[in-house]
A and B are shown apart, each in its own frame.
Chain A
């Protein structure tokens, strides 16, 4: 029996709430007893950060495959991450920390949390958009596809049936630059269909200057524009899926270093070490 996603989600959220409630009561009880609840919450938080960071090692080191599937680890990562986010606020007393190191640590932690929430959102929404475009493009092969589009455009330009000045100048001045050049950073951040619509409309407008014979050559041009735009869309969205993860992973190293330093300093100044 294959469990639907919604059921798993409900189960995990309920479990998270239950664990969160128990933790909250335990920490509140410690505070009420005038114990150092921040030590408990701090060590718990450090442990959670280590568990969250261990996922990277599970992914990178094949022998660890036997410690459970990556999907199970991701579920643990997501819900432990949510719990850590809540525990963080409890640990800092629901206010912004005052020390420079603590502020840096809190900033990095919140950036990681933010990138994590963003990652969760994009990994659940972007794949559908990619599927909706149709066709499947492997990110590393995008330059190859782009070269193929240029070759198709060149073949169109060399075709004896397309020997019209208007068509040739459009291919040379408008189409080929569109096919060969990459898209702007703003497009990669927020992909849109403006250029596609503009070029398609230009081709439509060209038609009235073309003979009926040459008009028949415009659909392949339009197809090329659509294919290139789809390719760029893939590049932008797949880039987004890879980009957030890169930031998330890079910040993890910094967070680990700062968290360990923070723990050591706390103990040094508290006199335990």
Chain B
């Protein structure tokens, strides 16, 4: 009988340490730093010791004067601890061109005609060595060989009052790393400095086993961002400052799932739906004791209900949505403990805020508007909730009990779902399973109307140096295809790891763009994109010669859909479709999505 198994070493968490490419850190000297000295090594489990985290999840990085350490708007999975030197947090928003990004401008008709007239017979003609977006910004290689973008004349660009300095021992960038949110400010090196870069996995464990760091981070977030965040949430409108302060103090931070969900993504989507649902981290389970009100800070949550031996997906929630309010309302109106009515699971990585039930009952419900007030504010679901409250101790009106689903904004769409719509159900499951819900500008093609004429592809090529920025293939859900075109995702994992910041999100439009001048063709973004929507292309010069380096290897550039930001008519692909078969759509806007799919 032949051997059907091969015995091998099981892969371990630290098989690939963070410091592989740059300097590994000196653990004993790190442990003597005040931040780590305050931590109790005994609090860490034997399989994840503090020393292990420092050895494997951190690396030492050196920066020269003017180097941009983090850029406002970038996504990153690391926090930085200053080991020596000073860094400056830029208090104002720098123009995109200073950060190595491009600023799109719509072309005039004359420019469009000129470009069409001068179009090249060869695709992907670029000029290398062009000044990178602005003469104040340039790139150079650091001592570790990594490419860094730096500002050349800082005093001319930023006045001293617009920079807040941080020095040895201070930590920055941890909130954006843990919450998967864009960096809120640009940080530059002020003179030569040495930093300890802690990747998010290590940071997560440090926070988990070190109450000091957890408290420090939570305090920082509470102090700087939480109140603003709560104020922006409809639930907290009209809350007095003292009440908001009390709620802010009680909020707990929770995160679920894998921060780097895009790495095993291709394997995960091949699993059948039940297995995939089972493998998703459970936030709250149907029938379990109510934990409080959850608010989603980032990521996606699957809402499902038990059906036979499996779970049926009812909807998905994203940033700004909340759940648990329905159950708390029932508790308030009936006095009986209501368990979770649905199961909630993390799709990818989810960052949550948990407001305890008591706080919701004490501060939010008494301030809940009457149906008239709610109607005047245009908040339909608030009116429904007020009706539920009526007749209770918190009541202002008479009691009528609507369906529990109606209390949360998403609940209405769940309640409106037709019971016998298997095609809708299948569609929803597929969108969630393939994580297509991440798309803010997903390209949907109605295959029942698409004549396969490829006018969309040609139009794209004509507006993008002769090469289309998408491929008319992709996952098919029912009779709709989600084409391989950049979806300008809510969670743009392609932005993580770009060494020059060439790929970034435009603040005003939300469009994820690549700056050709600063793209070094490393392919990090293309590998990170879970949907295969970024392509590396070989480029040519004005004389139509392929551009190669000294070793005769082709120079590559990352290309992807830029949503035709420089075209006045919007995306050329959609404009070119004669049969209304194509749309760019935000997958979070489920109402619009359903309308389009069911036209």
Chain A residues within CB distance 8 Å of chain B: 1-5, 59, 61-63, 65-66, 69-71, 73-74, 123, 126-128, 130-131, 136, 138-139, 238, 241-242, 245
Please determine whether B595 and A2 come into contact, CB atoms closer than 8 angstroms: yes
**Which of the segments B32-40, B297-305, B360-368, B449-457 contacts the partner chain?**
B449-457
Please determine whether B450 and A63 come into contact, CB atoms closer than 8 angstroms: no
Query: Known: A1-B595, A127-B447. Contact between A70 and B455, CB under 8 A?
Result: yes
Which of A66, A131, A241 is B479 in contact with, Cβ under 8 Å?
A: A131
Minimum Cβ distance to chain A for residue B456 (Å): 9
Main secondary structure of the interface of B (DSSP, over half): loop
Please determine whether A136 and B453 come into contact, CB atoms closer than 8 angstroms: no
Q: Which residues of B contact A2 (CB under 8 A)?
A: 592, 595-596, 599
Q: Which residues of B contact A62 (CB under 8 A)?
A: 112, 116, 459, 462-463, 572
Contact with A along B466-482 (1 / 0, CB 8 A): 00000011001001010
Minimum Cβ distance to chain A for residue B109 (Å): 6
**Which of the segments B82-90, B167-175, B369-377, B576-584 contacts the partner chain?**
B576-584
Please determine whether B599 and A70 come into contact, CB atoms closer than 8 angstroms: no
Please determine whether B575 and A126 come into contact, CB atoms closer than 8 angstroms: no
The answer to whether the Cβ of B567 comes within 8 Å of any Cβ in the partner chain is yes
Query: Known: A62-B462, A65-B572, A131-B479. Contact between A70 and B577, CB under 8 A?
Result: yes
Please determine whether A138 and B451 come into contact, CB atoms closer than 8 angstroms: no
Q: Which residues of A contact B112 (CB under 8 A)?
A: 62-63, 65-66
Query: Known: A65-B459, A136-B476. Contact between A123 and B579, CB under 8 A?
Result: yes
How big is chain B's contact interface, by range?
A: 35 or more
Chosen A-B contacts, 14 in total, with CB atoms closer than 8 Å, are: A1-B595, A2-B596, A2-B599, A65-B567, A65-B576, A70-B575, A71-B578, A73-B578, A123-B579, A127-B450, A128-B448, A131-B447, A138-B454, A245-B453
Main secondary structure of the interface of A (DSSP, over half): helix
Please determine whether B452 and A241 come into contact, CB atoms closer than 8 angstroms: yes
Q: Which residues of A contact B581 (CB under 8 A)?
A: 127
Instruction: Count A-B contacts at CB 8 Å.
Output: 85
Please determine whether B451 and A123 come into contact, CB atoms closer than 8 angstroms: yes
| A126 to B451 CA separation, bound complex (whole angstroms) | 8
Chain B residues within CB distance 8 Å of chain A: 109, 112-113, 116, 447-455, 459, 462-463, 472-473, 476, 479, 481, 567-569, 572, 574-581, 592, 595-596, 599
Q: Which residues of B contact A139 (CB under 8 A)?
A: 452, 454
Please determine whether A66 and B568 come into contact, CB atoms closer than 8 angstroms: yes
Q: Which residues of B contact A131 (CB under 8 A)?
A: 447-448, 479
Please determine whether B455 and A71 come into contact, CB atoms closer than 8 angstroms: no
Please determine whether A138 and B596 come into contact, CB atoms closer than 8 angstroms: no
**4 closest cross-chain pairs (CB), A and B:** A63-B112, A74-B578, A131-B447, A2-B595
Q: Which residues of A contact B449 (CB under 8 A)?
A: 127
Complex: chain B residue closest to A3, CB-CB: B599
| A5 to B574 CA separation, bound complex (whole angstroms) | 17
Most buried by A among B481, B574, B579, B580: B580
Q: Which residues of A contact B455 (CB under 8 A)?
A: 59, 70
Please determine whether A136 and B473 come into contact, CB atoms closer than 8 angstroms: yes
